[in-house]
């Protein structure tokens, strides 16, 4: 069955505490949502703020929507205004969108307390506003705010508000669990009652305060709703809205409904990442379907089974939602994990069974010391390549020294000195840098520049430090994870120490060694080029 998807990332989503989009962000996200096949994109509330007004003004000119219908959001008219003079309703009519969604009150508590009007007057607000917008040629989605709470207080009145919207011509009657407190079974019962009593499209809009939003939405569809509202990545007020990405994946894959279709479903992960990027928020690794860990296997037993048949530990195949299976290397690893990673590196056939077992032991020992190789795939690759070529060392570190001197409160100067042994030579350099790590990096480069000029391409992309045993206070061990790039590819290395400089230095030396190891292998020489 066709289930219509209504995305409100750009309206309800922006009410999430840490979510903020510029107008450019909103336009780019709307374009993406259209590409993935969303039916309705709620762009904002034109009556409430200048940013949303600008969005709708620019959207009319700049957005090239192939499929989605842009929607403006607002409320029923104020009790004191005739509908044609209500500023908010006028902004909706003039937003230039084919669809408007308006919310009205269902719950006596809100009607009396928040609006200060009688239940009968509220019915009039709903009906007149819907009719006015229909007369302006709009498709109208009526959002029944606090529908389920209102229903709990007075089922008959809650249904009357829907009937008022329906009779005035609303195209969708959307039932909102605005406070997010509903549990699934009761919500589904109520949706079924509405389905029986009223014709037309029933929609569902849930919030996640009870961690039930996606389940509630799926259950509402089971009870007859054919229009689902939500936000990508579950952004939204308080604990967020129902995560539309999970809703779509479940409806398509588990229930065989048609939302965006199987082809566009395969871009779901990339759309979620894009939106997270625009929101400047990390996409949660454990986000179902689309997160980095959604199909990541760590336990040795899991991995050896998944390698035989991925269905053993995967509820759907990751490709269907555009995600990837990953196998993690860690102290829980079995040989299967190591084999999988070696295959990815093209090294599996080159290491014999004994060498693989030794590699696994070394990994487990390092993880025990606080190394984390799941994220540091570069360090894993270096270990594997060292197991293959134990004779290749390129250089040994004789000593390093780093000092930062502060003058008064504002100026500080950092100098470093490094001594290496390479090809029977002693190489020493000093450098000044922007902080200790930069100074050490410059020294290392200077030392090696003559012998290995290729390494000058390696540069830092990202640097993260994490305290491992915080109960030791400032004496704690830290793990430094550094991402590097040489313009062709990027990789991460890791270092652990109770000294942040030393941890960083280890990660740096490993990154350079790996680059040299790869370049040597690429030259096709089993002997190091430096000795040839």
Sign of the C-alpha dihedral computed for residues 292, 283, 277 and 241 taken in this order: positive
In 225-328, which ranges are continuous DSSP H helix? 244-249, 262-265, 268-279, 300-308
Looking at the Cβ atoms of 233 and 492, the one nearer to Zn ion is 233
Check if the beta carbon of residue 132 is closer than 8 Å to that of residue 140.
Answer: no
Tell me the C-alpha distance between 132 and 93, whole Å: 9
Q: Which residue is nearest to Zn ion (CB)?
A: 12
Task: For residue 441, give Cα distances in angstroms to 81, 278, 393, 412, 490.
Answer: 69, 32, 18, 18, 17
Residue 158 or 327 having the CB closest to Zn ion: 158
Site for Zn ion (CB under 5 A): how many residues? 1
Rounded distance, CA 19 to CA 341, Å? 36
Angle between helices 377-388 and 335-344 (to 10 degrees): 90
User: Using CB under 5 A, which of the segments 4-12, 184-192, 260-268, 321-329 binds Zn ion?
Assistant: 4-12
Of 146 and 264, nearer to Zn ion (C-beta) is 146
Instruction: Choose between 12 and 139: whose C-beta lies nearer to Zn ion.
Output: 12
> Considering beta carbons, is residue 144 or 303 the nearer one to Zn ion?
144
Q: 233 in the Ramachandran plot: left (φ > 0), alpha (ψ -120 to 50) or beta?
A: left
In the complex, least distance from residue 241 CB atom to Zn ion, rounded to whole angstroms: 6
Binding residue for Zn ion, selected from 4, 5, 11, 12, defined by CB under 5 A:
12
The stretch among 10-18, 346-354, 424-432, 463-471 that binds Zn ion (CB under 5 A) is 10-18
Cα distances from 406 to residues 412, 432, 504, in angstroms, run 4, 14, 21
For Zn ion, the closer CB: 11 or 264: 11
Residue 478 Cβ vs Zn ion, minimum distance, rounded to whole Å: 42
- Beta carbon of residue 248, minimum distance to Zn ion (angstroms, whole number): 18
Q: Mark the segment that binds Zn ion (CB under 5 A) among 9-17, 277-285, 347-355, 383-391.
A: 9-17
What's CA 31's distance to the chain center, in Å? Answer: 18
Stretch that binds Zn ion, among 11-19, 131-139, 315-323, 515-523 (CB under 5 A): 11-19
Q: If binding is defined by CB under 5 A, does position 374 make contact with Zn ion?
A: no
Q: Identify which of residues 34 and 143 has a Cβ nearer to Zn ion in the complex.
A: 143
Residue with Cβ nearer Zn ion (8 or 520): 8
Sorted by sequence, the CB contacts under 8 Å of residue 188 that are 6+ apart come out as 216, 219, 220, 222, 223
Q: Which two tokens stand for residue 56?
A: 């709708």
| Minimum CB distance to Zn ion, residue 372 (Å) | 38
- x-or-dash pattern for Zn ion, window 83-112, by CB under 5 A? ------------------------------
For residues 12 and 372, which CB has a smaller minimum distance to Zn ion in the complex? 12
| Residue pair 139/132 in contact by the 8 Å Cβ criterion | no
Task: Give the C-alpha separation, 490 to 484, whole Å.
Answer: 5
| Interatomic CA distance for residues 298 and 333, integer angstroms | 6
User: Smallest distance, Å, CB 64 to Zn ion?
Assistant: 28
* Beta carbon of residue 231, minimum distance to Zn ion (angstroms, whole number): 9
Give the interface segment with Zn ion, choosing from 7-15, 64-72, 109-117, 377-385 (CB under 5 A).
Answer: 7-15
Which residue ranges make up the site for Zn ion (CB under 5 A)?
Answer: 12
């Amino acid at each position: 069955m066709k289930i219509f998807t209504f995305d409100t990332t750009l309206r309800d989503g922006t009410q999430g505490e840490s979510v903020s989009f510029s107008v450019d962000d909103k336009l780019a996200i709307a374009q993406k949502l259209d590409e993935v096949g969303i039916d309705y994109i709620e762009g904002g509330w034109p009556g409430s703020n200048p940013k949303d007004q600008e969005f709708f003004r620019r959207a009319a000119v700049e957005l090239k929507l192939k499929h989605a219908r842009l929607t403006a959001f607002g409320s029923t008219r104020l009790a004191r205004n005739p509908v044609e003079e209500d500023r908010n309703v006028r902004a909706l009519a003039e937003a230039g969108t084919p669809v408007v969604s308006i919310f009205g009150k269902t719950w006596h508590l809100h009607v009396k307390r928040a609006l200060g009007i009688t239940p009968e007057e509220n019915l009039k607000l709903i009906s007149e506003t819907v009719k006015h917008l229909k007369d302006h040629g709009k498709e109208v989605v009526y959002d029944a705010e606090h529908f389920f709470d209102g229903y709990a207080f007075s089922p008959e009145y809650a249904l009357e508000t829907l009937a008022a919207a329906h009779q005035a011509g609303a195209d969708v009657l959307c039932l909102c669990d605005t406070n997010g407190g509903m549990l699934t079974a009761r919500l589904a019962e109520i949706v079924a009652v509405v389905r029986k009593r009223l014709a037309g499209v029933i929609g569902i809009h849930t919030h996640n305060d009870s961690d039930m939003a996606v389940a509630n939405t799926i259950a509402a569809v089971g009870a007859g709703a054919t229009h689902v509202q939500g936000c990508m990545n579950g952004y939204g007020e308080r604990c967020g809205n129902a995560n539309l990405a999970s809703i779509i994946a479940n409806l398509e894959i588990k229930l065989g409904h048609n939302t965006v279709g199987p082809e566009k479903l395969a871009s779901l992960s990339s759309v979620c990442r894009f939106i997270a990027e625009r929101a400047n928020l990390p996409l949660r690794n454990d986000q179902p379907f689309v997160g980095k860990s959604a199909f990541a296997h760590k336990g040795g037993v899991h991995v050896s089974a998944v390698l035989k048949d991925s269905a053993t530990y995967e509820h759907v195949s990751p490709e269907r939602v555009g995600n990837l299976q990953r196998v993690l290397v860690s102290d829980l690893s079995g040989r299967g994990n190591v084999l999988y990673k070696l295959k990815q590196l093209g090294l599996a056939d080159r290491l014999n069974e004994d060498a693989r077992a030794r590699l696994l032991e070394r990994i487990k020992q390092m993880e025990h010391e606080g190394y984390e190789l799941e994220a540091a795939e570069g360090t894993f690759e270096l270990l594997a390549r060292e197991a293959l070529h134990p004779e290749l060392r390129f250089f040994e570190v004789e000593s390093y020294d780093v000092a930062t001197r502060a003058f008064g409160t504002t100026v500080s100067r950092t100098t470093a000195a490094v001594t290496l042994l390479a090809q029977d030579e002693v190489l020493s350099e000093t450098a000044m840098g922007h902080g200790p790590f930069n100074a050490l990096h410059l020294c290392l480069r200077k030392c090696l520049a003559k012998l290995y000029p290729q390494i000058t391409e390696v540069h830092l992309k990202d640097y993260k430090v994490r305290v491992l045993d915080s109960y030791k206070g400032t004496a704690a061990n830290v793990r430094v994870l550094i991402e590097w790039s040489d313009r062709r590819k990027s990789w991460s290395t890791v270092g652990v120490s109770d000294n942040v400089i030393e941890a960083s230095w280890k990660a740096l030396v490993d990154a350079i060694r790996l680059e040299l190891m790869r370049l040597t292998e690429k030259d096709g020489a089993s002997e190091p080029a430096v000795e040839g």
